[in-house]
Every structure is written in C-alpha cells, then in structure tokens.
C-alpha cells in the first residue's frame, strides 16, 4: 500500500498536464471531466490509505528520490501520511472534488476553461505536496506552488486590470510571509543541520536550543503562516482575491490554501509549543484577526467579500486554537470550516450565477422562491458557521472557545473577545442570508434569477450534508461523546499537546458545558438581531450607521489599512522606483550600455583598416607569429 | 677535408641561386635558377650520405615539379612582371627586418639546441634504398599508403580544376 | 659528418629565409609558389642533416613524405593559378584582393 502514496499527488499533476498540454484540443466538457476524475482518483486512494492507516496505526511513508545532497545535508523528496496529513489530504481531495464538479457548471462557456482546470489541478497537486511532504523544503515547494496557482486563478480573467492587480497584490503580500518562511528554514538548517520533520520536530533536539532561537524560528514560521492565511497585518490580499472565479474562492481562499498556515503550525506544534512568546503572539493575533475581520464583515455589502472577511475571521479562530496549544481543535475547525465555507462560497457562486454576475447584496433580496436548493443549502452553511447547536461549526468553534478559555496561553479576555466575535459571526452571516434571500426584491428588471443546474446543486447538497453532520466526528466528552477526531489526531499532535501543561479544571469558574450554553446564546442572539434588523425592521441599520457615523466609516473603510500601507510602503517604493527609472536607469545605465556600443563602433572603424585584403600582409603577420614562437622557445 | 670544402662551395652556390630565384624579375629565369638550386641541394644530400633522397630530389623536384612550373609559365605567358615594384617600400623594410630577426633567432636556437644533442656512437649506413625501403614498408607503411591516397586526391582535384568552366 | 650539424641547420635557415623573402616581396603568384618550394626544401635539408647526425632513417622518410606532399600541392596549386588566370587574366596577387570588402 505504501507504494501507492505517490499516486495521490500524481493524478492531479497528470490532470494538469493533460489540460495544460491538451488545451483547446480538449472539449469544454472533456477538460472538466478529466480534471474532476483525477481528483476523484486521488480521493479514492486517499480513502483506501486512510483505511490502511487505521489498520496499521503508524504513518505511511514513501521516498521518491533524493532531491538535494550537499555534504552531509540531504533533502529527500518523500511523502508521509500520518493522521494530520491524511485529514488534510481527504479535505483537499474531497472538498476539492466537489468544487471541481461544481466548476464544470459554473465555468460553462468560459473560453479559458481548459486553462482554468489545469490551474485547478496544479493547485491540487501543490496543495497535496504541501501537506504530504516530510520536510520543510518540499513543503515550501508546495507552499510556493499554491501561492502561484492562487495568483494565476485570482487573475484568471486577466483582461480586467482590476482582477489582474488583485492577483498581483495577493502574490506580493504572500511574498512577505514567504520570506519569513524562508528565513525560518535557513535558521533551521543552521541550527538543526536538516530540514526533515522527523529530526527537527523532536523534543531532545529542540531542548538543545536556546529559547531565543526557538522563538525566532517559530515567529518566522508564523510570519509565513500569517501571509498565507491572511491574518493581521497581512490580511489585505484575501478580500481582493475574490476577483477570481467563485469556485476558486471556495477551494483556495476558503477550504484549503489559506488553512496551510494552520496546518504548518499544527505540523510543527512541538516546536511552537516550546516558545511561550510565540504561542501567545499567535493566540492574540488569531483572536484579534477574528474580531476585526468580523467587524468589517458587518458592513460589507459585496456577498463574496462578506465571506472573505468571514474566512479571515474563522482563520483567526483556528490560529487562536493552535496558539493556545489546542492543535486538534484548530484542525477540527479547519475541516468543518472547509465544509461550510466551501458550501457558502459555492452557494454564493450559485446566487451570483443566477443573478448574472451581480455580487452586491443591496441588489438582491427575495431570492428564496427563485432558488430553493441554493436557499436551503446556504441556510445549512450559515447555521453551521454561526454555531447553531449540533451543526459542525458548533462543535469545532465550541472546542476552540473552551480551549482558549482553559489554556494557560488563553484566558478570560481572549475568550470574551472570541465569544463576542461568535455573536458577530452569527449576525453578519444571517445578515447576508436575509439580505440575499428574504425581504424585498431589489434587483432590476433585466436580471431573471434562476436556480443553477444540477451539476452545481449536487455538490452544494453534499457539502450541506457534510456541514450539518461533519461535527459528529468530534463530539466533546462533556456531551458524552468520544471526540474521535481528537483521538485520531493525537497520533500526530500528542507530543506537542503533551508539552503544554493544561491546567483544566483547576480554578476555572465555568465548565465546558456552561461555555457551550454561552456560545449558543451568542449565536442565537446574533441570529435574532439579524432577523430583527434585516427582515422585520430594515430601516434600523441605516439609523445606526448614521448615529455611529465615525465608527461606521472606520469599519466600512476596512480600518483604512490598505490606504495606510499605500501611504507608508507602496507610495515611497513607487516614487523611489520612478526616481531610479527616470534618473538612474535612463541616464547612467542606458548611458553605459549605449556608450559602450558607440565606443565599439568607433574602435571597429579604426581597426578595420588593419584588414587590408593584401595577402602578403597576412603572410607577414603569420611570419611575425613564427618569429615570436621561436623566440619564446629560445628564451624559455 | 675536401668534402667539407665541397659542402661550403655548394652551399654558397645554393644560397646564391636561391637569392636569384627570388630577386629575378623574369619568371622563366627564376624557374631555371630554381632547378639549379635543386641540383645543388641534391649534391648536399649526397654529401650528407642521403643517396636515395639525392636521386629523388632530382627526379621529383628538378624533373617533375619544375617542368610543371615552366609549363605553366609558358602557358600563361607571364614572363615579366608588368609593374616594376619600387625597391624599398616601407613594407619591404619591415619584411626584411623580420627576416633578419628570424634568421638570428633560428641560428641562436640551433646553436644552443645542438649543444644539448649527443651523436650516437658508430656509423650505420642509413641513406641507401634498402634502409629507407625497409622503414617505408614496415614502420611507415600506413603513412606511405596515406601518401598514395593524397596523390590520388590531388590528381582528381587537378583534373577538376583544369576543366574549362568552373 | 662532413660538416658540423650547426652549419647544415644555418644553411637551411638561410634558405628558408630567402623563401620567405620571396613570398613577402614578390607579386607574381608563380614566383611565390616557387618560394614556397624553396622553403619546403630548406626544411628537407634540415631533416636530412638531423637524420644523418642521429644515424636514424626516420628523418629521411619524412623528407620522402614531404616530397610527395610537394608534388601534390604543386599540381593542385598550379591548377588553381591556371584557373585564376583564366578568369582574371592576371597572376598578380595585388589584383586578387577579393578579401577586401
């Protein structure tokens, strides 16, 4: 069975090659089928290996080849499947498969559909490499690869300069984080002498290092995660990334790529757990991101941007979880989030599809009757993300809040913010839902909303089912469950969690069940508030935004972070570049280049006279050479 | 002693005739003088006990090659150079200077080099047909055969070049 | 040997220099060709001298091969000169400066 591991990433690569090389020779339908089938095959192999893993209980490994060998530093290219990467593989291929199928319907008629599917397959390959590699370097390969695919897919409709610029922005902002990752790798190589997870993530070798070094490495890795997972302060690229096709937003910018940062920290959990400073930084940044992104989502009117800020916010939750040492909880939320956020994006895509490209929620409303399937599936997603009881988001979010509250890195303040954010989440998600499907019809006469074809609604239904029941893999023990997911992941994360001495139960005011009731209250509160504001009394939001005009402007302007960066980083760089271009480049560099050309021309004109064309002159010069050789030999 | 004297006399004749070959303005005279030079060289070969080569020198150079030269000169009728070249142009001065330098260099090189050489004791007869024949058909068989191919190629080339239209 | 080796070699060098002089000074292609023959013979002389000095037949075999080469070269070279003369009605190399421009 081990020898089949390579097939998991190989099939998407094959799909990429077929779609990439075949190009326009493949029919539109064919290219979608090829792309979906290869991902499906990967999923099937992933499932069978999952069964194998459950039987054996030890990680499956396969070494393909030695990538780099310099002195006693070697990097092998090998794939490892332990419980953590198996979870990721199943999420990537499973959710990915549904999104590929959905794309066949969504992208129908797009002239670049073969290019689209080849990028999507390449992304799947890179993401699988990211989660399956057994060393930092191969992981970085996947890390950069998914970044590249993200760039390509955000700017998929590159004829539109705004969309092309959004892709560029995502890529450049990601580079900042990637540099952090790279620096961390350099530091790891110099301190550990290897990049293999097996050697680096080892208690004894970590214990040999000073705490400062560990903190530096983990903070740099975290910088990489911040860039990739769009946390404060590098979150600015994700809302712009919504310029890409909606299934791309679902796959890359909700379900898989943006969670790579969480995966990275969970993977290196033992290393992170060794630095208290880093853990605290992660937890605080995570919770703050969750909070601020949620506030922005409150006023956003673009349906996809609401979801984008919601993604940032949920990622913040995941970071808060891993930041307090609850790696399993973070990954649990990652999985459920992949289900319900993938669903929400696809449902939003269905709405956009039905509304002929309209994304502004102010021009929607009353779509319930027109799109019943989308309505019900989206309701499942919205309810799940809001944390309504017994849905997937409820279990995972609750586990995070409980860990934030009880862990030594967390505390009451972080928990309070998290709980408030949960209420806001419920509010803005139901706001989106009500604005889209209930209330007056605000669309113009030209658009005729319609339900999407079956090929789009079936993935929606499947994801909706997963969003509803997905949480049952991790029912907490306090509710009489066994938390299978937690136990399953323990095989990968127990070292790290063992490192952190949780002081549950001692000196805590609230038990897990009481916390649960609190978060249910928050969720239902948010839901009711949204119902009151956007269904019963649609005039209230306007009044509130008027009375709180400064706060409203701040939030709806996204805290003006883009403008801030523009002022402090982009403008000086642009001006500097312009200076170099106009002054330095044109006068000095071009001067040198053209000047050397002119010198050669003049020299050539002079030297041309040597070539007389008289044979005897050439003979004389040859003779001179003979004489030189003789004297050289004589004097030697 | 008489043989050495003969060597120096013949050497002088060789150099004199060679100079005349180069400096003479009439091509026919040059050719005839070159034949004379080759005869002298043949005598020098004899003095150096290279009997077979002395015969070949007369047969090939004086006989075949020079006849060919004379033939071409007659055929083209370019007896005298039409423009009398100026005796001492800058170019010639430089060339002459180079020649002198070259000659000095070769002489110095030779005199120094010969001092390091050691003549083997005893004297074996090497210049006769037997010795050369043995060498040619044993040790140098391959170059010998290649030489025959070279001649064949030259023959073909000449026939081709001599055609009316090229 | 009848004379010291140096004398033979210096004679050979002189003959060679005269040949070079002819190549550099003369304009007539046929005379230049003759000068080249002279140079070849100068080398032959040196080879014979060394061969005699060392009591070794190899040098004389070389001379034999050089003569073969000379024969081939002359036949082809003169054929070229004849062909050139046919096309340009001259054997003056100053008028054969096709290499210029």
B115-137: per-residue pLDDT in tens?
Answer: 777 777 666 677 788 888 888 89
pLDDT(B14) > 90? yes
Residues B29-73: pLDDT tens digits?
888 999 999 999 999 999 988 889 999 999 988 888 888 888 888
On the 0-12 / 13-18 / 19+ scale of CB atoms within 10 A, A266 is buried
Residue A353 has pLDDT above 80, yes or no: yes
For range C65-90, the mean pLDDT: 88
Q: How far apart are CA A452 and CA A454, in angstroms?
A: 7
Pairing between β-strand A73-81 and β-strand A60-70 as defined by DSSP bridges: antiparallel
Q: Indicate yes or no: CB of C69 within 8 angstroms of CB of B147.
A: yes
The Cα A505–Cα A76 span in angstroms is 45
Please report, rounded to a whole number, the percentage of residues in chain A having pLDDT higher than 70.
95
Tell me if A611 and C100 make a contact (CB, 8 A cut-off).
Answer: yes
| Those residues with Cβ within 8 angstroms of residue A182's Cβ, 6 or more apart along the chain or in another chain | A140
At A322, the pLDDT band (50, 70, 90 cuts) reads confident
pLDDT of B11: 92
Residue at C40 is within a domain? yes
- CATH code for the domain in which residue C10 is found: 1.10.287.3510
CA-nearest residue to C32 within chain B is B22
Taking CB atoms and an 8 Å cutoff, what residues of chain B touch C49?
48
Helices (H), A133-228: 136-154, 161-192, 197-200, 203-207, 211-228
CA distances (Å), origin B5, targets B8, B13, B50, B127, C44: 5, 12, 18, 21, 22
Given B94, B105, B112, which is nearest A627 (Cβ)?
A: B105
In the structure encoding, which two tokens stand for residue A6, read together?
């390579």
C64 alpha carbon, distance to own chain's centre: 15
Residue A93 confidence (pLDDT): 92
The 3-state secondary structure of A374-427, one letter per residue: HHHHHHHHHHHHHCCCCCHHHHHHHHHHHHHHHCCCCCHHHHHHHHHHHHHHHH
Q: d(Cα A354, Cα A372) in Å, to the nearest integer?
A: 12
Q: Min CA distance, B135 vs chain C (Å)? A: 7
Same domain, yes or no: B133 and B63: no
Test A620 with B112 for CB contact under 8 angstroms.
no
Which of A358, A248, C53, A431 lies closest to B120 in space, CA to CA? C53
Q: Would you place residue B13 in the very low, low, confident or very high pLDDT band (cuts 50, 70, 90)?
A: very high
Kindly report the nearest CA distance between residue C99 and chain B, in angstroms. 19
pLDDT of residue A494: 54
C15: chain B residues, CB-CB within 8 Å: 14-15, 18
Residue A359, pLDDT above cutoff 70: yes
Query: Does C97 fall in a domain?
Result: no
* CB < 8 Å to C23, chain A: 616, 619
Query: How many other CB atoms are there within 10 angstroms of residue C38's CB atom?
Result: 26
In the predicted structure, residue A502 carries a pLDDT above the cut 60: no
Three-state secondary structure along A86-122?
HHHHHHHHHHHHHHHHHHHHHCCCCCCHHHHHHHHHH
Whether pLDDT at C97 is above 70: no
Q: Name which of C38, C75, C91 is nearest B76 (Cβ-Cβ).
A: C91
With a cut of 60, say whether residue A496 has pLDDT above it: no
**What is the per-residue pLDDT for B165?**
65
Residue A505 has pLDDT above 50, yes or no: no
User: For residue C35, is pLDDT > 70?
Assistant: yes
B104 within domain boundaries = no
Q: How far is C34 from chain A (nearest CA, A)?
A: 15
B27 domain residue, yes or no? yes
> Could you report the per-residue pLDDT of A442-478, keeping only the tens digit for each?
777 777 778 888 888 888 898 899 888 888 887 776 6
Over residues A32-60, the pLDDT tens digits come to: 899 999 999 999 999 998 888 888 878 88
Q: Give the span between the Cα atoms of C3 and B47, in whole angstroms.
A: 9
Q: What is the pLDDT of residue A100?
A: 92
Whether the per-residue pLDDT at B161 is higher than 60: the answer is yes
Q: Residue C75: inside a domain, yes or no?
A: yes
Asked if pLDDT for residue A499 goes beyond 80, the answer is no
Handedness of CA A367, A369, A374, A375 (dihedral sign): positive
Which of C6, C57, C83, C95 would you mutate first to test chain B, the one with the most B CBs within 10 A? C57
Q: What mean pLDDT is predicted for residues A585-605? A: 88
Chain A residues within 8 A of C24 when measuring between CB atoms: 616, 619-620, 623
Residues from chain A that touch C94, judged by Cβ atoms under 8 A, are 614
From the list C11, C37, C78, the residue facing B11 with the nearest CB is C11
Could you tell me if C87 lies within 8 Å of chain A, comparing CB atoms?
A: no
Which of A414-418, A560-564, B31-35 is the least confident region?
A560-564
Q: Which among A610, A622, A624 is the top mutation candidate for probing chain B, defined by the most B β-carbons within 10 Å of its own β-carbon? A: A624
| Residue B88, pLDDT score | 53
pLDDT tens track for A265-316:
888 888 888 888 888 888 899 999 999 888 888 888 888 888 999 999 999 9
Q: Which of A616, A617, A630 sits opposite B106 (nearest CB)?
A: A630
Chain C residues in contact with A623 by the CB 8 A cut-off are 20, 24
Site from C20, C35, C90 to mutate, A interface, most A CB atoms within 10 angstroms = C20
Domain annotation covers residue B109: no
In B36-57, which positions are buried (b, 16+ CB within 10 angstroms) versus exposed (e)?
bbbbbbbbbbbbbbbbbbbebb
- Residue B118, Cβ density class (10 Å: 0-12 exposed, 13-18 middle, ≥19 buried): exposed
Closest CB to C20: pick one of A612, A613, A623.
A623
Using CA atoms, how far residue C85 sits from A600, B78, B116, B160, in Å, is 40, 10, 50, 16
More reliable by pLDDT, A635 or B78: A635
Interface test with B, best of A610, A625, A631 (most B CBs within 10 A): A631
Chain C residue with minimum CA distance to B6: C2
Rg (CA), chain B: 20
What is the band of B97 on the pLDDT scale with cuts at 50, 70, 90? confident
Task: Establish if B98 belongs to a structural domain.
Answer: no
Domain of C56 in residue numbering reads as 5-89
Scanning every residue of chain B, which has its alpha carbon at the shortest distance from the alpha carbon of C2? B4
3 state SS of A305? helix
Distances in Å between the alpha carbon of A531 and those of A498, A526, A540, A542, A613? 44, 9, 11, 15, 97
**Which band of pLDDT confidence, cut at 50, 70 and 90, is reported for residue A506?**
very low
Q: How many domains does chain B have?
A: 2
Domain that residue B28 falls in: 1-80
Which is nearest to C56 in space by CA: B42, B56, B135? B135
pLDDT of residue A513: 78
On whether residue C27 sits in a domain, the answer given is yes
DSSP string, B64-90: IIHHHHHHHHHHHT--B-SSPPPS--H
> Do the chains contact at C16 and B119, CB–CB below 8 Å?
no
Check residue A501 and give its pLDDT.
46
All residues of chain B having their beta carbon less than 8 Å from the beta carbon of residue A623 are 98, 102
| Total number of domains constituting chain C | 1
Task: Tell me whether C70 touches chain A (CB under 8 Å).
Answer: no
Q: Which residues of A touch C (CB under 8 A)?
A: 611-616, 619-620, 623
For residue C52, give the nearest of B14, B48, B72 by CB distance: B48
**Least CB-CB distance to B102: which of C3, C17, C82?**
C17
- pLDDT for A97 equals 92
Share above pLDDT 90 across residues of chain B, in percent, rounded to a whole number: 30
Answer yes or no: is pLDDT of A122 > 90: yes
Which of C7, C19, C75, C88 to mutate against chain B (most B CBs within 10 Å)? C75
Average of per-residue pLDDT values in chain A: 84
| Position C98 in a domain | no
Q: The domain spanning residue B9 has which CATH number?
A: 1.20.120.1200
Q: How many residues does chain C have?
A: 101
Confidence of residue B152 (pLDDT cuts 50, 70, 90): very high
Q: What number is the average pLDDT over the span A217-225?
A: 91
Q: State pLDDT tens for residues B82-92.
A: 554 554 577 77
- Which of A407, A397, A182, A185 shows the shortest CA–CA distance to A280? A407
Within its chain, how far is the Cα of A211 from the centroid?
Answer: 29
Task: Select the more confidently predicted residue: A542 or C82.
Answer: C82
**Which among A356, A521, A355, A553 is positioned nearest to A435, based on CA atoms?**
A355
Judged against a pLDDT cut of 80, whether residue A228 lies above it is answered with yes
Among A611, A612, A616, whose Cβ lies nearest the Cβ of C24?
A: A616
Q: What is the mean pLDDT of residues A172-178?
A: 89
Tell the burial category of B26 from Cβ atoms under 10 Å away from its Cβ (0-12, 13-18, 19+).
Answer: middle
Tell me the count of A-B CB pairs closer than 8 A.
Answer: 24
In chain B, residues with a C-beta closer than 8 Å to the C-beta of A622 are none
| Nearest one of A37, A459, A394 to A246, comparing CA atoms | A459
B111 falls within a domain: no
Pick the residue from chain A with its C-alpha nearest to C98: A613
Q: Which helix (H) or strand (E) holds A553?
A: helix A549-556
Query: Is residue A610's pLDDT more than 60?
Result: yes
* Chain centroid offset of residue A393 CA: 19
Q: Is the pLDDT of residue A403 over 50?
A: yes
**Between chains, do C23 and A616 touch, taking CB under 8 Å as contact?**
yes
pLDDT score recorded for residue B101: 86
């Amino acid at each position: 069975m081990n020898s089949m591991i390579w097939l998991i990433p190989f099939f998407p690569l094959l799909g990429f090659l077929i779609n990439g090389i075949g190009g326009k020779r493949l029919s539109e339908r064919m290219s979608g089928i090829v792309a979906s089938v290869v991902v499906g095959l990967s999923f099937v192999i992933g499932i069978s290996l999952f069964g194998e893993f459950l039987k054996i209980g030890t990680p499956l490994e396969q070494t393909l080849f030695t990538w780099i060998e310099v002195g006693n530093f070697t990097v092998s290219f090998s794939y490892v499947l332990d419980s953590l990467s198996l979870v990721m593989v199943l999420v990537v291929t499973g959710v990915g498969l549904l999104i590929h199928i959905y794309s066949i319907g969504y992208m129908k008629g797009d002239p670049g559909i073969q290019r689209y599917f080849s990028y999507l397959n390449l992304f799947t390959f890179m993401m699988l490499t990211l989660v399956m590699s057994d060393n930092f370097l191969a992981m970085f390969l996947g890390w950069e690869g998914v970044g590249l695919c993200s760039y390509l897919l955000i700017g998929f409709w590159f004829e539109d300069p705004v969309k092309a610029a959004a892709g560029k922005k995502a890529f450049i902002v990601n580079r900042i984080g990637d540099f952090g990752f790279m620096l961390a790798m350099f530091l790891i190589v110099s301190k550990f002498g290897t990049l293999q997870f097996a050697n680096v993530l080892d208690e004894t070798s970590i214990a040999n290092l000073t705490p400062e070094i560990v903190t530096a490495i983990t903070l740099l890795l975290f910088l990489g995660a911040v860039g990739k997972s769009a946390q404060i302060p590098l979150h600015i690229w994700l809302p712009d990334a919504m310029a890409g096709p909606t299934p791309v937003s679902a796959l890359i910018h909700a379900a898989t790529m943006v969670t790579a940062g969480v995966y990275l920290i969970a993977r290196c959990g033992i290393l992170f757990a060794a630095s208290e400073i880093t853990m605290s930084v992660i937890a605080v940044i995570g919770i703050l991101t969750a909070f601020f992104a949620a506030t922005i989502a409150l006023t956003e009117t673009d349906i996809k941007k609401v979801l984008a800020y919601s993604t940032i916010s949920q990622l913040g939750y995941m970071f808060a979880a891993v930041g307090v040492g609850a790696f399993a909880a973070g990954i649990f939320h990652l999985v459920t989030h992949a289900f319900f956020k993938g669903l929400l994006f696809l449902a939003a895509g269905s709405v956009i599809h039905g509304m002929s490209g309209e994304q502004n929620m102010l021009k929607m409303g009353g779509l319930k009757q027109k799109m019943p399937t989308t309505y019900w599936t989206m309701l499942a997603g919205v309810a799940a993300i809001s944390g309504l009881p017994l849905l997937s988001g409820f279990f995972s979010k609750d586990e995070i809040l409980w860990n934030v509250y009880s862990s030594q890195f967390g505390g009451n303040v972080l928990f309070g913010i998290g709980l408030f954010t949960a209420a806001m989440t419920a509010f803005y998600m139901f706001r989106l839902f009500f604005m889209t499907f209930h209330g007056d019809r605000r669309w113009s006469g030209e658009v005729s909303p319609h339900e999407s074809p079956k090929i789009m609604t079936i993935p929606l239904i499947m994801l909706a089912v997963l969003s509803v029941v997905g949480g049952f893999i991790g029912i907490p023990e306090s509710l009489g469950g066994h938390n299978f997911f937690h136990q399953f992941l323990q095989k990968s994360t127990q070292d790290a969690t063992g490192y952190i001495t949780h002081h549950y139960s001692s000196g805590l005011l609230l038990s897990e069940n009481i916390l649960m009731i609190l978060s249910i209250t928050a969720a239902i509160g948010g839901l009711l508030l949204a119902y009151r504001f956007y269904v019963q009394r649609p005039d209230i939001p306007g009044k509130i935004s008027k009375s709180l005009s400064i706060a409203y402007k701040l939030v709806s302007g996204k805290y003006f972070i883009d403008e801030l960066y523009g002022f402090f980083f982009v403008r000086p760089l642009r001006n500097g570049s312009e200076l170099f271009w106009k002054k330095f480049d044109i006068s000095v560099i071009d001067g040198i280049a053209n000047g050397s050309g002119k010198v050669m021309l003049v020299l050539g004109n002079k030297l041309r006279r040597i070539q007389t064309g008289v044979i005897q002159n050439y003979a004389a010069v040859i003779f001179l050479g003979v004489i030189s050789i003789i004297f050289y030999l004589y004097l030697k | 002693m008489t043989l050495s004297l003969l060597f120096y006399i013949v050497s002088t004749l060789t150099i004199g005739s060679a100079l005349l070959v180069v400096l003479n303005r009439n091509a026919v005279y040059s050719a005839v003088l070159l034949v004379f030079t080759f005869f002298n060289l043949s005598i020098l070969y004899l003095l150096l006990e290279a009997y077979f080569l002395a015969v070949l020198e007369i047969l090939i150079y004086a006989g075949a090659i020079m006849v060919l030269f004379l033939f071409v000169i007659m055929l083209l009728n370019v007896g005298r150079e039409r423009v009398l070249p100026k005796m001492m142009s800058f170019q010639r001065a430089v060339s002459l200077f180079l020649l002198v330098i070259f000659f000095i260099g070769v002489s110095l090189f030779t005199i120094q080099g010969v001092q390091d050489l050691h003549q083997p004791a005893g004297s074996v007869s090497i210049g006769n047909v037997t010795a050369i024949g043995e060498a040619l058909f044993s040790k140098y068989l391959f170059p010998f055969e290649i030489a025959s191919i070279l001649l064949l190629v030259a023959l073909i080339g000449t026939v081709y070049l001599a055609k009316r239209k090229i | 040997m009848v004379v010291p080796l140096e004398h033979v070699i210096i004679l050979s060098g002189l003959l060679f220099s005269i040949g070079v002089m002819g190549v550099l000074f003369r304009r007539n292609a046929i005379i230049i060709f003759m000068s080249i023959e002279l140079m070849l013979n100068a080398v032959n002389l040196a080879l014979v001298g060394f061969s005699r000095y060392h009591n070794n037949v190899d040098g004389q075999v070389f001379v034999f091969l050089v003569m073969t080469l000379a024969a081939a070269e002359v036949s082809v070279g003169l054929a070229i000169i004849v062909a050139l003369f046919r096309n340009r009605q001259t054997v003056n190399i100053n008028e054969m400066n096709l290499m210029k421009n």
